[in-house]
Amino acid sequence: MIYRYLIVLTFFLSLSVHAQVDKEKLDKLNVEALLVKELTTSEIIYDKEALKEVKPASLTKIMTAILAIEQGNLDRGVTITAEMIGVEPTKAGYKEGEVIRLDDLIKAAMIKSDNDAAMAIAIAIGGDLKTFVEMMNLKAQQIGMENTLFTNPCGFDIGMHHSTPLDLLHLAEYAIQNPLFNDITRQNEHTYYSLNTNRKFIAKTHNHLLGKYEYAVGVKTGYTSKAGPCFIARAKKDGNDCLIVMLNSKENRWNTAQQIFEQVFVEPQSIEDTFVAQREATSDEKMQL
């Protein structure tokens, strides 16, 4: 009998250290690809089409931002050129000749997903667009993004610009090791000014989960007509830390991510209570014999 109790106890101990999700329910979601990783245990607890080639849309800007953050000198001014602002659709609306702090450009690219900000970062850091894209692809290889090719810093569906859900997970895991990156991605809004004209800009997030779910701490949204609605979401609760990579979602991204987080963060029944319940059930079985 003691042996049986030990088996039950061992089983529930194993459950207590591994997050659980309703895989059957997640299988039914109308999303092209989905990954859920519990960072505390480094366990991928759900995956759908992890290696499928996908369009990353503005999730690309995670790479753009982390490259800019890592090179430092974020207080320096960047003079806006015609090439930097010749993009659509989401834009901060800079004018040629305005000077914007690099730190503000990073926040505009990450929080509001401004494409002119991302282009300004690329040209300022790389010297030209081609060189920066080369930097992006070199970094991708260095952090294990083996099936990714970047052709631009914004996420436009230009040429063979592509990635995979697993590679995007690698990118997010790498980026969140940086405290400044984390601070930026949890912001709902950022107000800043041109250094030479004092013109005011406001970057408001597209990540509706930040204002809706108290445990959300980032990371980035994305959308193009080919990529569909995309989302890399992160939440932390009671020592648990979870990342979700969602590509081409036909579901409500915010509700879906929150529901997944709640499954991951649910506190397992205490081992002692479970053990007692099992023991009582065994006693009942004996009485019925």
Q: Give the C-alpha separation, 145 to 141, whole Å.
A: 5
- Sheet harboring 31-38: ordered strands across? 43-48, 31-38, 240-249, 228-237, 216-224
Q: Do residue 144 and residue 83 come from a single domain?
A: yes
For the CA atoms of the chain, what is the radius of gyration? Answer: 23
Q: Do residue 93 and residue 198 come from a single domain?
A: yes
> Which parts of the chain sit beneath pLDDT 70?
1-19, 267-289
Residue 79: strand pairing partners: 99
Residue with tokens 């659709």: 89
pLDDT at 7: 41
Residue 124 in tokens: 């300022």
Q: Do residue 85 and residue 223 come from a single domain?
A: yes
CATH code where residue 167 lies:
3.40.710.10
Q: Do residue 45 and residue 115 come from a single domain?
A: yes
List residues with catalytic annotation.
58, 61, 113
pLDDT at 83: 97
pLDDT at 119: 98
pLDDT at 18: 58
Q: Do residue 13 and residue 31 come from a single domain?
A: no
Q: Do residue 168 and residue 204 come from a single domain?
A: yes
Q: Do residue 118 and residue 190 come from a single domain?
A: yes
Number of domains comprising the chain: 2
pLDDT at 19: 67
**Which pTM value belongs to this model?**
0.87
pLDDT at 267: 67
pLDDT digit string, tens, across residues 235-276: 999 999 999 999 999 999 999 999 999 999 986 543 344 334
Q: What is the residue range of 229's domain?
A: 21-267
Q: Do residue 115 and residue 231 come from a single domain?
A: yes
Residue 13 in tokens: 């101990």
pLDDT digit string, tens, across residues 36-51: 999 999 999 999 999 9
**CA of residue 181 relative to chain centroid, distance:** 11
Buried b (16+ CB within 10 A) or exposed e, 224-255: beebbbbbbbbbbbeebbbbbbbbbbebebbe
Q: Do residue 147 and residue 4 come from a single domain?
A: no
Q: Do residue 237 and residue 281 come from a single domain?
A: no
Q: How far is CA 210 from CA 79, 186, 219, in A?
A: 31, 7, 9
